[in-house]
Amino acid sequence: MYKYSEVLDSVCLDNLYGNDTEYALQMFEIYVDMIEGQCSSLLDAVKAEDRELVRKMSHKIKPVFTMVGLPRLTKLSEQIEKESTIGSIEWLDSHSGELYQEVVGTLPAIKTEIEQLKKIS
Amino acid sequence: MIKTIIVEDEIMALKSLEKLCKKYSELDLIGMYENGEDALESIKSAEVDLILLDIDMPGMSGLDLVEKIPNLPQVVFTTGNTEYAYEAYEYDITDFLKKPISPDRFKKAIEKVNETLEKRNAVSLASEMHELYIKTDGKYIRLGYPDILYFENVGDYIKAITSHGTYIFHDTMKSLDSKITNPRFLKVHRSYIINMQWIKDFKDNTVVIKDKVIPVSRAYKSVLLGSINLI
């Protein structure tokens, strides 16, 4: 079984991809292509105080993090989705910002993982 | 093959489902749509057996979409929120998957799809063996095979003569002949398909069913003779 980086939740990734590293690689590459843009859109929606859009955006990106071994960000998105209709804008702003920072911070690890996966696929 | 479409607005989930579908040779992935509106157009114009359907999409939601499909095929809902589960099961769906979807969970869903398909096929086969439904006067009428004496072609229509009445419906003899699965039915002329259990007698190029003398074409006579127990 392929060993993922310790930064990522390998149990979660093994459950999703098993030995299919080509499948994992495809998902990781899509993630890198789109996640920053989607998190920026979430931040913009919070800034615009568009709660429905915040709900939709956080709902949309929620499962994506688990697919690259970052289930804690799935939980954070879930919290944002839940608070989108009732939470304060300040809360949404700080947590969306936290999510964005986490995404940016973990991107190098994801990119390294892509390189590793390319070597064996 | 199970003609399958995916309706999903999130690209990773869409690609993931595509990948999972390709693991199953019985699934024929005929389309992928990012919104309900496009999917609905496709479902109206093509035969679809299975929809892998996201619930929460911009515009038409997955639940809105199933409301608009007249003859709902099998549906497996995919969603990030289990809170939709209760509402989703109101639609007699085959399964409900929470994203991200693991291969093991997807496998179970496909097993359920296959089981449902087998049940539906069994029911359909049982019906095919015993009856025909014809559309006449805006409704479907059941004709049990034993009650049908013969079919007669009348222009663009077919007349079904049964023991309890005569019915006229729109079809061609060729199409009707292909739909009848009961081996007791035989085409004896380009305009007649008869139920052999009602034959009273026959001679030369005719058979008599009740009091109706039905012509037998030369081309079909040998088939008729080969199908009856001549002593």
How far apart are the CA of B92 and the nearest CA of chain A, in angstroms? Answer: 25
Q: Please write the tens of the pLDDT for every residue from B192-203.
A: 999 999 999 998
Contact B56 A26 (CB under 8 A): no
Q: Judge whether A21 is closer than 8 Å to chain B, CB to CB.
A: no
* b/e sequence A33-53, b meaning 16+ C-beta within 10 Å: eebeebbebbbebbeeeebeb
Give me the residues of A, 65-94, that contact B with CB < 8 A. Answer: 66-67
ipTM exceeds 0.85, yes or no: no
Query: Measured between beta carbons, which residues in chain B are less than 8 angstroms from residue A20?
Result: 103
In-domain check, residue A36: yes
Contact B12 A67 (CB under 8 A): yes
Structural domains of chain B, with CATH: 2-128 (3.40.50.2300), 137-227 (2.40.50.1020)
Q: What is the mean pLDDT of residues B131-145?
A: 90
In-domain check, residue A3: no
pLDDT at B4 over 90: yes
In-domain check, residue A2: no
Q: Judge whether A59 is closer than 8 Å to chain B, CB to CB.
A: yes
Q: How confident is the model at residue B229 (pLDDT cuts 50, 70, 90)?
A: confident
Q: Give the domain CATH number at A74.
A: 1.20.120
The pLDDT score that the predictor gives to residue B129 is 82
Q: Measure Cα distances from B50 to A25, B19, B45, B139 in Å.
A: 28, 16, 15, 27
pLDDT at B151 over 80: yes
How far apart are the CA of A60 and the nearest CA of chain B, in angstroms? Answer: 7
Q: Judge whether A39 is closer than 8 Å to chain B, CB to CB.
A: no
In-domain check, residue A109: yes
How far apart are the CA of A18 and the nearest CA of chain B, in angstroms? Answer: 8
Q: What is the mean pLDDT of residues A11-38?
A: 92
Q: Judge whether A16 is closer than 8 Å to chain B, CB to CB.
A: yes
Please report, for chain A, how many H helices and E strands are present, in that order: 5, 0
Please give the angle made by the CA atoms of A59, A63 and A65, to the nearest 5 degrees: 115
Contact A67 B15 (CB under 8 A): no
| Residue A85 lies in domain | 10-120
In-domain check, residue A52: yes
The pLDDT score that the predictor gives to residue B223 is 85
Contact B12 A15 (CB under 8 A): no
In-domain check, residue A66: yes
Q: Please write the tens of the pLDDT for every residue from B61-110.
A: 899 999 999 888 999 999 887 777 777 777 888 999 998 898 889 999 99
Q: Measure Cα distances from B87 to A29, B53, B79, B215 in Å.
A: 34, 14, 12, 59
Query: Measured between beta carbons, which residues in chain A are less than 8 angstroms from residue B56?
Result: 56, 59-60
Contact A16 B10 (CB under 8 A): no
Q: How many CB atoms lie within 10 A of CB B183?
A: 8
Q: Which tokens sit at A29?
A: 């590459």
How many domains would you assign to chain A?
Answer: 1
CA B142 to CA B115: how far, in whole Å? 27
Query: Measured between beta carbons, which residues in chain A are less than 8 angstroms from residue B17?
Result: none
